[in-house]
Amino acid sequence: MKQIVGYIRPYFGRMTLGLLIKFCGAIMDLLLPWILSYMIDEIVPLKEKKLIFLWGGIMLGCAVISLVTNIVANQMASWVARNTTERVRHDLFSRIMMLSSKQIDEFTLPSLELRLTSDTYNVHRMISMMQRMGIRAPILLLGGIIITLTLEPVLSLVLILTLPFIAILVYSVSRKGIPMYTALQKGTDHMVRIVRENIAGIRVIKALSKTDYEKERFHQGNEEVVRLEKRAGITMALTNPMMNLFLNCGLTGVILVGAWRVNAGLSQPGKIIAFLSYFTIILNAMLSITRMFVMLSKGSASADRISEVLMTPEDLLLEERPRKEESAHLVFDHVSFSYQKKEYNLEDIHFSLEHGETLGIIGATGSGKSTIVSLLMRLYDVDQGEIRIDGRPVQSIPPEELHTMFGVVFQNDFLVAETIHENIDFGRELSLDQIERAAAAAQAGEFIDSLDDGLEHLVTARGTNISGGQKQRLLVARALADHPKILILDDSSSALDYRTDARLRKQLKEKYSDLTSVIIAQRVSSIMQANKILVLEEGRMIGLGTHEELLKSCEVYRQISESQMGGNAHA
Amino acid sequence: MPKGPRGKIEKPQDRRKVMLRLGQYLLQQKGLLMICLILTFASNFLVLLGPMLSGRAIDAIGTEAGKVNFELVFWNCGLMLVFYIASSAMTYLLSVLMIRFSQKIVYQMRRDVFEKLVELPVGYFDQHQAGDIVSRISYDIDTVNTSLSNDLLQIATSVITVVGSLAMMIAISPVLVLVFAFTVPLSIVLTKVMTTRLRPLFSKRSSKLGELNGFVEEIIGGQKTVKAYHQEKTMIDRFDQKNLEAVDAYYDADYYGSMTGPSVSFINNLSLALISMFGSLLFLADALTLGTLSSFVLYSRKFSGPINEVANIISELQSSMAAAERVFRLIDEAPELQDAPEAKDLESCQGQVDVEHVSFGYLPGKTIIHDLNLHADPGSLVAIVGPTGAGKTTLINLLMRFYDPDAGAVKLDGYDLRALKRRSVRAQYAMVLQDTWLFQGTVFENLAYGKKDATLEEVMNAAKAAHIHQTIMRFPNGYDTLLTENGLNISQGQKQLLTIARAMLLDAKMLILDEATSNVDTRTEIEIQKAMRKLMEGKTCFVIAHRLSTIQNADTILVVQDGEIVEQGNHQSLLDQGGLYATLYRSQFQ
């Protein structure tokens, strides 16, 4: 919360001015009923029509001032909220872009998304509404009470007497109600999970003819939600009628006590009438304040979640490390790594790759193939050992230099909702020639040409309007376009048929022979021609060598190869 | 979750139809609805009497000291108290009834949606995102619920309050009511101007925020890639652009929206000023007493409140109409066809499958299977191959009668599937799919899912056959271990074995197998293959194949490309044909 206040600080001047204007407006609203009582008690008995018109005119004037000041102040508040939110969002997004992968894993992606969207939205609303009501409601409440006190102290006491009752009521009901809503949320989650399970397993459910069983299961979840919602709703429904009752009782009390006071000559009926008006004002102010608290607690929870990200310290800093003289392009020097810092996800990985060589990596899901790539690009830091590129430890290479060395396609990589051209270019402002050449090499040329608008064709978010194979070809084109020094393909030909896959490999060999490549694949056929093949199992390397060598030396590799290609692996 | 930001505001296409259908739901609870209406009327009527009574009390007090008519003051104040208590009690009762009422309807709606959902053809789930379906059954129905329980009451209350206070005011002083001839049109014009001006601004605000959210989801999801290409700056610049549009749209809506509140108070204040002025004049002319003037002021506040609320209620109703429409659209989706009344209940079968001259397409006019013929003897193996996304599941959809062919027939033991009960056709199949499906429940419940009254022993035998028994015994509570989404750490391979065990438990003559592409660790993979081979024994098998080794032994191979079956034969005959299969097969060695 503190940090968000820091963002508002530059606008304090404007905000104060706005609040001052707002203050004037609220005072006008408070003056109106007072003038009414003054007219009835003081002016009317004078029987001067002129004076009545005069005071009526003053009331109109107050109404107009209130209108203008409130609008101006609200608009100034909107302006402050707009500028604050813009800066908060910018900083938050920039910070998220700079977070290291480890930090992102800790926050989790959905949570980060939520912080950028719902949370900044809540903060925006909070800043805007707090300025509008934050001053007006307390002024109306306090001012209302003060004016009634000056008008008629005894009657005010009757009115004030009801306030504690209302406070206790609101407090106790919400204390009881909030846990009920938490329970309701849980119930809803349960029901939604049943729906999700049904959507995911619809084939199995239908195949096993379990629809009636699932209906019954949902029916129970549904009933539970309804029961919980009724319970919570009925508890909360107590607030409004009770609050009205208290206030109306207070009002009746004012009239009763007023009767005595007037009888004793201590008060006038006009004041009682004014009181009735102030009642409404005070009631509304109380309601606004309750709402403000809800909004404030929601907003400050959001603000805290935003701050948490903003305050995350920078990770993966540049380190001075000695350079090693070696001819190899890439070296993994006895590298071990663990995500959770418990069990190793990679253990003692050791290999080196000369310029222009290709490394194939094969192994089961979860065996650590993609982790090797993440470490190579220093998305995480190794726990033991060292990774060197041209003899330089990756920790000593500035990120802008390190990251521009690579052309990479991650597993399940993403396309943005932009043109094909932009998806290949990816913000790097490459020449048209570079893009077309890369597309051709990635076997994407044909399908791009078949589109009416070619490279300018719009891809939908997550590439839902093109096939999996086309998507992978565009991603490979992106990786090749800037002619990187190192090419990394993580399972990026799985959706290509064998033929296209083979053509792609041929193109890489002919046109990009200077590239050092790391290729992760499920299919032996995709990597069997690599200079070196690394076989991983549960984070350990159980084989390193060429296809022929591994067939002889590595039992697991031989099994994989046989299960995929039958006995013809040598063909 | 804020109401605004996600998704665009959908406009109901046919508002009247949607209203009528919502009305039908309401009418299912006719009795409750009537009671609620009566209570609303009664409680508001009592509240309306309040100002009148307070006016009388003030008149009884009079303007001079020592001349207060206490008896009358007490009488009126007593009545006020009684009425207020009665009205509060009724309001509470009303809320309770209203909650019951709306919950009944919501319950029914959710039930209707879900029961329709599970009857929909499986293709529906391929075409619609889970998130979208879930948001209909939760968020959209909630929106309808809120609007049912709040807006209906609000409308009823408003109507009664406006009519009632107008009547009261006319009774008190018809002349003074003329003030409203000036202020009411003013507020109507204001509301109209504001809503026409604001509506596009608000929908722009929602859509810009939606765009921003979409961008954020996209880029944060691909953050690794952005980093890998060192494009953080580019993305931040693009974000700034979207952010600017979003805050500006919010500001525009806010800027004009912030006029509404003050304008509404202005009209209230204006009425108050005019009433004070003319009221005082009337009082001077002895046409009005102090008490009646006070009542009039109170009624005037009540009177203008609801009129200013109308704009709010209308916009809320609009969004709930849109939500209701989305819900109804799902309920209106066409379900799987009903079984024919004379359909036969197939108790057991041999497992002979014939596909005779079948043509099929998901969309009319877009046939993807042309005149397919296929004969599978009991115990034979049919493999389906082709690139990912080529539509290999279509055939499975026809075999299990998730869809009916457009022409020709699929036969099981010589019976046309359409002459059999769906349930009995599907019971002949066991199925192991690539997406392993487990639900939140114990291991036992998950395994026994397909077989009612399965004993623990049977389940254990199946698990043993699937080579997963040992693993299960290592779970904290063995077969009673709860499988939750995040709780127990079971690997993909173990999940696959569990689904195989589930299939083992079934007494099926036929098997549908979607081979896993994602290699699990090598040892588990060998286990899975062993288990699968055991499962396939003596069954007619349809395998979506990813491994060439499976294919070579198959009795029939179907080659699928772009949703169409392009070749059919066994391994050798297809190689001899030299078509797509041969190319695919050879290219792996290039």
Fold of B377-390+428-587: Rossmann fold (3.40.50)
> What is the rounded distance in angstroms from the CA atom of residue B327 to the CA atom of residue B333?
10
Nearest to residue A534, comparing CAs of A362, A386, A350?
A: A362
CB-nearest to B228 from A199, A218, A377 is A377
The DSSP secondary-structure symbol of A312 reads P
CA distances from B46 to A243, B90, B208, B304 (A): 16, 10, 47, 19
Contact B228 A499 (CB under 8 A): no
Nearest to residue A277, comparing CAs of A36, A488, A529?
A: A36
CA distances from A203 to A207, B93, B384 (A): 6, 47, 18
Mean pLDDT to the nearest integer, A234-262 = 85
pLDDT per residue as tens digits for the range A146-174: 888 888 888 888 878 887 888 888 788 87
Å between B7 CA and nearest CA of chain A:
12
CA atoms within 13 A on the CB side of B20: 4
- Chain B's closest residue to A495, CA to CA, is B388
Å between A62 CA and nearest CA of chain B:
9
H/E segment holding residue B124:
helix B123-127
DSSP alpha helix (H) spans, B432-588:
443-447, 456-465, 469-474, 492-504, 522-536, 548-552, 571-577, 580-587
The DSSP secondary-structure symbol of A44 reads G
Q: Is the pLDDT of residue A74 over 80?
A: yes
Contact A93 B107 (CB under 8 A): no
Please count the other Cβ atoms lying within 10 Å of the Cβ belonging to residue B460. Answer: 18
- Chain A's closest residue to B492, CA to CA, is A365
Instruction: Give pairs for A565-569: CB < 8 Å, separation 24+.
Output: A565/A524, A565/A525, A565/B548, A565/B549, A565/B588, A565/B589, A566/B548, A566/B549, A566/B552, A568/B589, A569/A524, A569/A528
Residues 6+ apart with CB under 8 A from B463: B447, B469, B472, B501
State how far Cα B533 lies from the chain centre.
41
Nearest to residue A332, comparing CAs of A295, A372, A294?
A: A372
SS3 B504: helix
> What is the rounded distance in angstroms from the CA atom of residue B554 to the CA atom of residue B376?
11
Nearest to residue B438, comparing CAs of B429, B430, B426, B450?
A: B450
Å between A334 CA and nearest CA of chain B:
23
Angle of helix B290-331 relative to helix B152-172, nearest 10 degrees, comes to: 160
Using CA of residue B467, residue B468, residue B469, residue B473, what is the dihedral sign?
Answer: positive
Contact A64 B266 (CB under 8 A): yes
Nearest to residue B307, comparing CAs of B154, B171, B201?
A: B154
Å between B361 CA and nearest CA of chain A:
19
Could you tell me if A273 lies within 8 Å of chain B, comparing CB atoms? yes
Å between B587 CA and nearest CA of chain A:
5
Nearest to residue A457, comparing CAs of A468, A469, A444, A440?
A: A444
- Chain B's closest residue to A67, CA to CA, is B262
B122 contacts in A (CB within 8 Å)?
Answer: 202-203, 206
List A residues 425-464 in contact with B (Cβ-Cβ < 8 A): 426-428, 461-462
Angle of helix A49-98 relative to helix A269-310, nearest 10 degrees, comes to: 10
Query: pLDDT of chain B along its 590 residues, tens only?
Result: 333 333 334 444 567 888 888 888 888 888 888 898 888 888 888 888 888 888 888 888 877 777 788 888 889 899 989 998 998 999 899 889 888 888 998 999 999 999 998 888 887 887 676 767 877 887 788 878 878 777 777 788 888 888 888 888 888 888 888 888 888 888 888 878 887 887 788 778 877 887 888 788 778 878 888 888 888 888 899 999 999 999 999 899 888 888 877 888 888 888 888 888 888 888 888 888 888 888 888 888 777 767 666 666 776 777 788 788 888 988 888 888 778 888 888 888 888 999 999 888 877 777 778 888 888 889 898 988 876 555 667 888 888 888 889 889 999 988 898 888 888 888 888 888 777 788 888 899 989 888 888 899 999 988 988 888 988 888 888 899 888 754 455 777 778 888 888 888 887 888 888 765 555 566 667 777 778 788 888 889 998 876 666 777 889 998 887 667 788 888 889 889 888 888 777 766 65
Contact B99 A39 (CB under 8 A): no
CB-nearest to B133 from A25, A199, A560 is A199
B422 contacts in A (CB within 8 Å)?
Answer: 209
**CATH class of residue range B15-331:** mainly alpha
The DSSP secondary-structure symbol of A539 reads T
Could you tell me if A493 lies within 8 Å of chain B, comparing CB atoms? no
Domains of chain B, residue spans: 15-331, 377-390+428-587
B585 contacts in A (CB within 8 Å)?
Answer: 498
Q: Is the pLDDT of residue A569 over 60?
A: no
Å between B35 CA and nearest CA of chain A:
17
Q: What is the number of CB-based contacts under 8 A between chain A and chain B?
A: 463
Please count the other Cβ atoms lying within 10 Å of the Cβ belonging to residue A150. Answer: 9
SS (H, E, C) B300-341: HHHHHHHHHHHHHHHHHHHHHHHHHHHHHHHHCCCCCCCCCC
List A residues 463-482 in contact with B (Cβ-Cβ < 8 A): 467-469, 478
State how far Cα A431 lies from the chain centre.
35
Contact B254 A81 (CB under 8 A): yes
0.80 surpassed by pTM: no
Which of A39, A208, A254, A472 is the mutation pick for testing B, counting most B CBs within 10 A? A208
Å between B339 CA and nearest CA of chain A:
14
All domains of chain A in start order, with CATH: 1-152+287-315 (1.20.1560.10), 330-565 (3.40.50.300)
The DSSP secondary-structure symbol of B378 reads T
Could you tell me if A307 lies within 8 Å of chain B, comparing CB atoms? no
Contact B240 A90 (CB under 8 A): yes
Residues 6+ apart with CB under 8 A from B360: B367, B368, B369, B394, B398, B403, B405, B406, B407
Residues 6+ apart with CB under 8 A from A309: A92, A95, A96, A99, A107, A112, A115
pLDDT per residue as tens digits for the range A440-494: 999 888 888 888 888 999 887 666 677 777 888 899 999 999 889 999 998 777 6
